[in-house]
Amino acid sequence: MPDSSQPIRTHGLTHLALGVRDVDRAFAFYERVFGMVAIYRSDSFVQGQTPGTRDVVVFETATSRVGESAGIAHFGFRLVDPSAIDDAARAIEAAGGTVEEKGEFVPGEPYLFARDLDGYLFEVWFEIPTPVDPR
């Protein structure tokens, strides 16, 4: 029997599903901004993954509550290089999104909040590596 006092080992939070008006349009935005690759497609959804990561964002056809987060404030993409924050802002705007806020949490940790084409709020930020980050 497994030891229930030990945490379950995972690769972390790696899956997010968004209800969208048009799956191809929604996926194209994240493909353009983050280089996301479609790893599975059906008539009603597209699973996208950012190269070099284990994250998966599923874009599912929805007719109601599109753009509503139902209690989730936002989701985020962590930058590898803090100097890429301005490039991220330009890419978001070029893909049709809107940057709502931009700044630094602390010196050297820039962030921005933006909305995608369906109105979802997401963050792009850099965080100095923490003691529990993977090597």
pLDDT, tens only, 19-57:
999 999 999 999 999 999 999 999 999 999 999 999 999
Q: What is the mean pLDDT of residues 62-68?
A: 84
Domain encompassing residue 97: 15-63+74-125
How far are the Cα atoms of 33, 62, 91, 102, 109 from residue 124, in angstroms, in the given order? 11, 25, 12, 9, 11
In a domain, 54, yes or no: yes
* Residue 130, in any domain of the structure: no
Instruction: Give the pairing type, strands 75-78 and 121-125.
Output: parallel
Residue 38 CB coordination number (10 Å): 15
Residue 132, in any domain of the structure: no
Amino acid type, 73:
A
pTM: 0.87
Is 27 inside a domain boundary? Answer: yes
